[in-house]
Each structure stands twice: as structure tokens, then as C-alpha cells.
Amino acid sequence: MKSTRRDFLATAATAAGAAAAGELSAHAQDPETAHAHAHAHQAVPSDLALRVKSLESLLVEKGLVDRAALDALIDTYEHKIGPRNGAQVVAKAWADPAYKQRLLTDSNKAIAELGFGGQQGEHMVVVENTPTIHNMVVCTLCSCYPWPVLGLPPVWYKSAPYRSRAVIDPRGVLREFGVELSDDVEVRVWDSTAELRYLVLPERPAGTEGLSENALAALVTRDAMIGVAKVLPPREGATK
Amino acid sequence: MNGVHDMGGMQDMGRVLEEKNEPVFHHPWEGRVFAITRSMSAWRKWNLDALRHQRELIPPADYLRMSYYEIWLTGLLELSVKFGLVTREEIAVGKPAAGSSRLSPALTADKVPPLVANGTPASRDVPVAARFQAGQRVRARNINPVGHTRLPRYARGKQGIVERDHGVFVFPDTDAHFLGEKPQHVYTVRFSARELWGDQAKPRDTVCIAMWDDYLEPA
């Protein structure tokens, strides 16, 4: 009987991962990606759930944390802060050339004009995609990400495959996200090693001249603001 | 520290797996770990650099096996014990030891919005001379500190060009070890992908890395 470690992991990922992580994209079903997925979710959730519950009650009893504050923090990042913030910034930059100029020269101040800023976005740098430069953001050392404009990072951004490959094989990674770039384009990868947090200003798609800022914002995806996707024109529908 | 967390340029880690309609937290416990970590940091017993370093100290095989918030949980527990906020015995039983002191006040819900909105800036308004300027050719130093560093291995010894001076920031290599903030300039340094990876890279491609003064020497 031929049973490899990869088969085992693939099976484990199908059982535990599917239950734990919800719907996966179609290519998750091949063993290669199931393997990667198994790395992300190998821990047994119930054991961790119990450990964390026990820790929380200990810390509450010792006066070290306040349950209402924990709830408020979770609510903030589940419901109030996310990629729609960044999409508003991008849409305004597309619609208003003066704002775009401010955004590229003093990103913090321009983002604050829309009411965004703070934790893990204290030092923002906005980088602009053009027909000849494609920017893409990674944190090879941990998981640095511009929270005030994009929310908390997705699992793939924090995963070993992305952190390892984004700097050495950015075009290979982009291809997996469906982005193929010619050799004439400079792929410029930003490794978030310091407290600077990067937001990609994607190229405005053709055919959007008459759109309002709100309609433009609806086209902008999280992935485009990380730099692993392009923003598609309205008729092709939103990117993932 | 040349740890497994320093992943830039490693190969055979597999494909990047994107999940459709991914939730912010996959399980309630992940949200609790996130919020507990943020709350516990408000005691200011440690700083963000120390927290990052604590996660890097997780043994490599465990680091690769663990999910993201399990790494967070492990780092938080280690620091909480190290700074005497809890004991391992208390964690094991989930109850405060008899007679243990109760601290207060913890971060309360009304303090969450200002905490989130203000953040914790790492820039420092102190007069420190910049050692380099935009346009200058530099080399990332070939250093291999056993402690915390934000100079990734793949850039060490490589030459690049200073693009922009971002001003003065806390230096993580000392801050993580409570040896002072040692504020210094941080620059964007642009490296050609060919300088980093050789001929397999496309000639136009580049990697921009934020670098502190102490990471650089003139080239």
C-alpha cells in the first residue's frame, strides 16, 4: 500500500481544514495546495479553544484583561476596519488628482483626511502602480500589514509560501493570482521590515471615466491593494 | 537571529493558497488571542519588538507547524511568565495562585477606540544625523546577530541604492532586548532582483527594503 506523508496531510487538510476554514478556492483541492493548507491549520482547534478559554478566565480573574475590551477589539477588526477603508482611499486618489498627489507625498496625512490611521498604520507609504511599475507588498519576517486601511491580513499573506516566495519569485506568485506581467514591467516588491506600512495604489481600469467615487471604490479589491491583483473594469466584474 | 521566521528566498514552501470569503478570524479563540495580546501589551511591560522576537524564539519545527494565532498565543504566554504577570502553574490550572496580587486597571473598552486610532508610533522626534542620503549606493552589512534583527538574510552583503530617508525610528535590534531605543534613520533601499538572486531574476525587477542606519555601509 502506497501511503505518503503528503497523502496523509492532504487527507487531514480536507477533513480539518475544510471544516475549520470554510470554503476554499477550487485549486485548493490539488495535493500541492492541500499540503500548504495543512501547514496553516494543523493544530487541533478544540484543544486551543480550551486553552485560550482557560487563559482568558485566568487573566480576567487576575485583573489583567477586561472582557468588554476584548470584545471591543474583536468587533473593531471584524466589523469596523477592513479593506473598504483602503478602497475609499484608492477611489478618491483616482477621482481627485490633487488628493492623489497628497497621498503619494504625505500618505499618513492624506489617509487621515478620510478618517483612517492608527494601530499598525502609523507610518504609511502609498506606492503607485503604473504601466511600467507593478508594486507588491510582503513581510518576509513576520506579518506586517497596513491594518487601518486593509484590516487584519489574510492567512495566505502570513503563510510560509507567500513570505518565502514573494521576494525571490514574485512573478510566479502573481501568476498563481492570475496576473501575468511582461518583462518590460518592473515588479517592485516591498518587504515590510520596518514600521513603514505599504498600500498599493492600483491602476485605474479603462472604461471607468464616468463612475462616482463610490462606484470606483466598489471595484477595488484587497488583493489589488496588496499588489497581487489588478483592478478589473466593471463589465468583467470584481476581482476576487 | 538566523531563524526560520526569516523566510525571504526560501523555496519549496508550496503554492500560495487563497481562501475565498475568508473570515477575519477562523475560530472564536483566534479573536480572543488577538484581543488578549493587544490588551496585555497595554501594560507596557514589553514592546512590539520584544513581542516579535519572542515569537521568533519558538523552536523552528513548532513555528512551521503552528497556525498564526497559536504563534501569537505562545509568544504572549512566554512574555507574560517572563514578566511575572502569570506563572506557568496558573496557566496550567487556569486559576490565580492563592494570595497572588490583582493588578488594575486593565485596558477597558472605552480605551480601545483611542488605542486603535492613535497606534504606537515608532518614529522619534530627536536630532540624529542621517549617515546616508537619497541616491547613495550602499551595502547591507553582513551581520549575523544571535538576537532580534530586521535585516533579512537574503539582503546581507548586497548592494542597493537609497531611495528615500523616512526619518528617525526606534532600532529593533536593541529595543527587542530592552537595551534602549537607539533611534536612527530608516531608509528605503532599492535592490535589483539580479543583485539578490542572480541571473534567474528578471533584469528590471527590484526589491525595496526598509533599512536602519546600523544595517548599512557605503558601497
Residues A110 and A214 occupy one common structural domain:
yes
CB B125 within 8 A of CB B170: no
Handedness of CA A232, A234, A240, B6 (dihedral sign): positive
Angle at A228 between CA B69 and CA B49, to 5 degrees: 40
pLDDT at A22 over 60: no
- Look at residue A11 and tell me if it is in a domain: no
Residues A170 and A220 occupy one common structural domain:
yes
Residues A95 and A212 occupy one common structural domain:
yes
- Tens digit of each residue's pLDDT (9 = 90 or more) over A118-165: 999 999 999 999 999 999 999 999 999 999 999 999 999 999 999 999
- Look at residue A17 and tell me if it is in a domain: no
Among B79, B95, B87, B81, residue whose Cα is nearest residue B37:
B79
* Domain endpoint, select from A8, A37, A65: A65
A192: annotated active-site residue: no
Tell me, what CATH number does A222's domain have?
3.90.330.10
* Domain endpoint, select from A65, A96, A115: A65
What cell does A163 get? 513570505
- Look at residue A16 and tell me if it is in a domain: no
> What are the start-end ranges of the E strands in A97-239?
123-128, 133-138, 186-191, 196-201
What cell does B11 get? 523555496
A182: annotated active-site residue: no
CB contact (8 A) between residue B102 and residue A21: no
Residues A35 and A109 occupy one common structural domain:
no
Digit-by-digit pLDDT tens for chain B (219 residues) are 999 999 999 999 999 999 999 999 999 999 999 999 999 999 999 999 999 999 999 999 999 999 999 999 999 999 999 999 999 999 999 999 988 877 778 999 999 999 999 999 999 999 999 999 999 999 999 999 999 999 999 999 999 999 999 999 999 999 999 999 999 999 999 999 999 999 999 999 999 999 999 999 999
Residue B192: closest CA among chain A residues belongs to which residue? A188
Name the one residue in this structure whose C-alpha cell is 491549520: A41
* CA pair distance A38, A56, nearest whole angstrom: 27
The pLDDT score that the predictor gives to residue B100 is 84
Residues A122 and A202 occupy one common structural domain:
yes
pLDDT at A61 over 60: yes
- Tens digit of each residue's pLDDT (9 = 90 or more) over A5-15: 333 333 333 33
Residues A132 and A54 occupy one common structural domain:
no
Which domains are delineated in chain B?
28-118 (1.10.472.20), 137-218 (2.30.30.50)
Residues in CB range of A129: below 8 A, 6 or more apart: A135, A200, A201, A202, A203, A227
The pLDDT score that the predictor gives to residue A28 is 36
* CA pair distance A163, B88, nearest whole angstrom: 33
Q: How many domains does chain A have?
A: 2
Q: Give yes or no for B10 touching A (CB within 8 A).
A: yes
Residues in CB range of B15: below 8 A, 6 or more apart: A27, A32, A33, A36, A161, A176
Residues A133 and A200 occupy one common structural domain:
yes
Residues A107 and A61 occupy one common structural domain:
no
Which amino acid is residue A207, in one-letter code? Answer: G
- Look at residue A76 and tell me if it is in a domain: no
Average pLDDT, chain A: 85
- Look at residue A110 and tell me if it is in a domain: yes
pLDDT band with cut points at 50, 70 and 90 for residue A90: very high
The pLDDT score that the predictor gives to residue B150 is 98
Residues A184 and A102 occupy one common structural domain:
yes
pLDDT band with cut points at 50, 70 and 90 for residue A3: very low
The pLDDT score that the predictor gives to residue B138 is 98
The pLDDT score that the predictor gives to residue A19 is 37
Among A142, A126, A138, residue whose Cα is nearest residue A189:
A138
- Look at residue A163 and tell me if it is in a domain: yes
Q: Compute the average pLDDT of residues A62-89.
A: 98
Report residue A98 CA to chain centroid gap: 27
Could you tell me which residues are beta bridge partners of residue B207?
A: A189, B191
The pLDDT score that the predictor gives to residue A91 is 98
Q: How many beta-carbon pairs under 8 angstroms link A with B?
A: 324
The pLDDT score that the predictor gives to residue A74 is 98
- Look at residue A93 and tell me if it is in a domain: yes
The pLDDT score that the predictor gives to residue B102 is 77
* Residue from the list A43, A56, A190 with its beta carbon closest to the beta carbon of B66: A43
pLDDT at A25 over 60: no
Q: Give yes or no for B66 touching A (CB within 8 A).
A: yes
| Catalytic pick among A54, A57, A142, A164 | A142
Residue A185 sits in which domain range? 82-236
The pLDDT score that the predictor gives to residue A33 is 42
Residues A41 and A88 occupy one common structural domain:
no
Angle at A87 between CA A231 and CA A95, to 5 degrees: 80
- In 10 A of CB B164, how many CB atoms? 17
The pLDDT score that the predictor gives to residue A9 is 37
- Look at residue A70 and tell me if it is in a domain: no
- Tens digit of each residue's pLDDT (9 = 90 or more) over A206-223: 999 999 999 999 999 999
pLDDT band with cut points at 50, 70 and 90 for residue A236: low
Whether the bond into B105 is cis, omega within 30 of 0: yes
pLDDT at A100 over 60: yes
A25: annotated active-site residue: no
Residues A102 and A55 occupy one common structural domain:
no
3-state secondary structure at position A210: coil
Residues A98 and A144 occupy one common structural domain:
yes
Cβ neighbours of A185 in B, within 8 Å: 204
Residue B90: φ, ψ to 5°: -65, -40
From chain A residues 18-57, the ones with a CB under 8 A of any chain B CB are 20-25, 27-28, 32-33, 35-37, 39-43, 45, 48-49, 51-57
3-state secondary structure at position A8: helix
